[in-house]
Amino acid sequence: MTEGLSWVPSTIDTGLPSAARIYDYLLGGGHNFAADRELAEKFLLAQPNARTIARLNRAFLRRAVLHLADAGVRQFLDLGSGIPTVGNVHEIAQRAAPESRVVYVDFEDVAVAHSRMLLEDDDQSTVLQEDMTDTDAVLAGVRDTGLIDFAEPIGVLTVGVFHFVPPERDPVGVVAAYRDAVAPGSYLALSQFTADLQPEEMTGVVAVMRRSANPMFPRTHAEITAMFDGFDLVEPGVVPLPLWRPEDGAVEEDADRAGIFAGVGRKK
C-alpha cells in the first residue's frame, strides 16, 4: 500500500500568520508571506510604533549578548528564536568570541527549517524544534546536542517571547526550570510586552493577535521582575528597551513608547 491517505491533513499552512514572520516583516525583512504581512499591517494600526519596537527589541538582544560575552559567557540558549533575521545570536556572539556556541529553540516548522538551512555549515550552532515551555523536553534536547556544558555559565535568552506564553503555562515556573538547570553565574536576558507603557495601544495589539496562532499576554513591570527570581538583576534592572545600557553615540529614543520591558539577570 503506497498511496497517500487522503484524510491526512497537511500540517503546514502558509495561510496562517506566524509571530516569527510578522516580527521579521516589522524589522524590514523579506522572510514572510502575504498572510503575515496582512496581520502585521493590522498590528501597525493598533501600535503605530511597532517597527521601532521591533528594532529596539532586536537591538536589546544584540546588546544583551555582547554584555554576556563581555562577562565571559560562551554558550547561549536562544528560546523562541524565530525566523533567522538580521543580527542572529550566533553571528553576534561569534564575532565577539569565535568559540561561542548557540542552541536555538523554536516550535514553528518554517522558522526551524529556515534556521536549519542557515546553520548547516556551522558546527557550533544548532536548532531544536521544541515548545520552549516544555522545559523537560528542551533541556533533554539541549543536552543531546553536546554543544552546551551545563557545568559552565549559559546565557539563556528569551527576547520578545514570553508575551506569547499564556498564564496557564506558568511563565514563572518555565523560567524557574531553566534557572534550576543552569550553573551559577549563568544569565537570563528577557524582554516582553507590557501594558504599563501604552495601555491603549497594547489593548489594540492584544485584540489583533487574539485570533492569530500567537495570542499575546502583556505583563506588568512587577510580573516581569518576578520572573527574575533567583537572579541578580544587572543595572539598570527591568526597564523599557532603549534604557537598557544604551551604547555610546546612540540616538535618543522615546522610552515611553517602547512597548516592551527588558532586563538581564545573573544566577546567584
Contact residues for other proteins, defined by CB under 8 A: 1, 4-14, 21, 27-33, 51-52, 54-55, 58-59, 62, 83, 86-87, 91-92, 109-114, 116-117, 247-251, 253
Please, what is the minimum distance in Å from the beta carbon of residue 229 to other proteins? 26
User: Nearest distance from residue 129's CB to other proteins, in Å?
Assistant: 9
**Residue from 163, 172, 170, 168 nearest 215 by CA:** 163
What 3-state class would DSSP assign to 60? helix
List the beta strands (DSSP E) in the chain. 75-79, 101-106, 125-129, 155-159, 187-193, 231-233, 239-240, 260-267
Cα separation, 159 vs 61, in Å, equals 7
- Work out how close the CB of 94 gets to other proteins at its nearest, in angstroms, rounded to a whole number: 12
Closer CB to other proteins, 113 or 140, in the complex: 113
The candidate with the shortest Cα–Cα distance to 158, out of 228, 95, 211, is 228
| One-character DSSP codes across 122-138 | -TTEEEEE--TT-HHHH
Task: Please measure the distance between the N-terminal and C-terminal CA atoms of the chain and give it in whole angstroms.
Answer: 59
Nearer to other proteins, 235 or 248 (CB): 248
Smallest separation, CB 127 to other proteins (Å) = 11
CB-nearer residue toward other proteins: 13 or 200:
13
Residue 211 Cβ, how far from other proteins at the closest point, in Å? 12
Nearer to other proteins, 53 or 182 (CB): 53
C-beta separation of 159 from 61 below 8 A: yes
**Cell 499552512 found at:** 13
Q: Which is nearer to other proteins, 107 or 231 (CB)?
A: 107
- Shortest Å, Cβ 28 to other proteins: 5
Considering beta carbons, is residue 9 or 146 the nearer one to other proteins?
Answer: 9
Amino acid at 127: V
